[in-house]
Amino acid sequence: DTAVSQTPKYLVTQMGNDKSIKCEQNLGHDTMYWYKQDSKKFLKIMFSYNNKELIINETVPNRFSPKSPDKAHLNLHINSLELGDSAVYFCASSLGRGGKLFFGSGTQLSVL
Partner 1 sequence: DQQVKQNSPSLSVQEGRISILNCDYTNSMFDYFLWYKKYPAEGPTFLISISSIKDKNEDGRFTVFLNKSAKHLSLHIVPSQPGDSAVYFCAASARGNKLVFGAGTILRVKS
Residue with smaller CB distance to partner 1, 14 or 40: 40
Q: Measuring CA to CA, how many Å separate 65 from each of 27, 31, 81?
A: 24, 17, 12
**DSSP secondary structure letter of residue 71:** T
Spatial separation of the C-alpha atoms in residues 28 and 58, rounded to whole Å: 25
Strands 19-25 and 102-103: unpaired
Closest approach, Cβ 36 to partner 1, in A, equals 11
CA quadruple 87, 90, 73, 50: dihedral positive or negative?
Answer: negative
The least CB distance from residue 16 to partner 1, in Å, is 28
What is the smallest separation between the CB atom of 94 and partner 1, expressed in angstroms? Answer: 9
* Footprint on this chain of partner 1 (rule: CB under 8 A): 4, 35, 40-45, 48, 56, 90, 92, 96-106
**Residue 95: CB minimum distance to partner 1, A:** 11
12 versus 43: smaller Cβ distance to partner 1: 43
